[in-house]
Homo-oligomer: A and B are copies of this chain.
Amino acid sequence: MADKNLKLCLLYDFYGNMLTEKQQECFELYYSEDLSLAEIAEHTGITRQGVRDSIKHAEAALLEMEEKLRITEKTQKLQEGLAEIVAMSREAERINRIDTPSLEMSGILRDIEKTARKLSEETL
């Protein structure tokens, strides 16, 4: 079984709904609750081997979905681009404040920043 790791948890955030209920339960207990296979077996009434298989299948399914859909890869690029837009709108506002600031410009730059932040939150 792969080490408990961040990448699988990120994939789970995106694709978890596509797994079976049993896979979701075992995956969450193992990765989010940090229970051992034996503890999950006791908790769910599945055999230890059954738990292990369920988690392995869930991991394989998550990796396969990312290979086919590449949502997390696209989302990461998107997040980087939106962060750049936030930084640029703040830099533009800094320039606007030099000499004679335009209130109208200020308002638009704030709206650009707000929109980029909102999109960033919604796509995570």
Note all chain B residues with C-beta closer than 8 A to A118.
81
Asked if A85 and B85 make an inter-chain contact with CB atoms under 8 angstroms apart, the answer reads: yes
Q: Tally A residues with Cβ within 8 Å of B.
A: 34
A92 within 8 A of B: yes
Q: Is A123 an interface residue (CB 8 A)?
A: yes
Report whether over half of chain A's contact residues are helix, strand or loop; otherwise say mixed: helix
The quantity of this chain's copies bound in the complex is 2
Q: Specify which of B69, B108, B111, B115 is in contact with A15 (CB 8 Å cutoff).
A: B69
Residue A10 is within 8 A (CB to CB) of chain B in the complex: no
Residue of B nearest to A14 (CB): B69
* Contact A85 B71, beta carbon cutoff 8 Å: no
Interface string of A51-95 (1 = CB under 8 A from B): 000000000000001001101001001100110110011011001
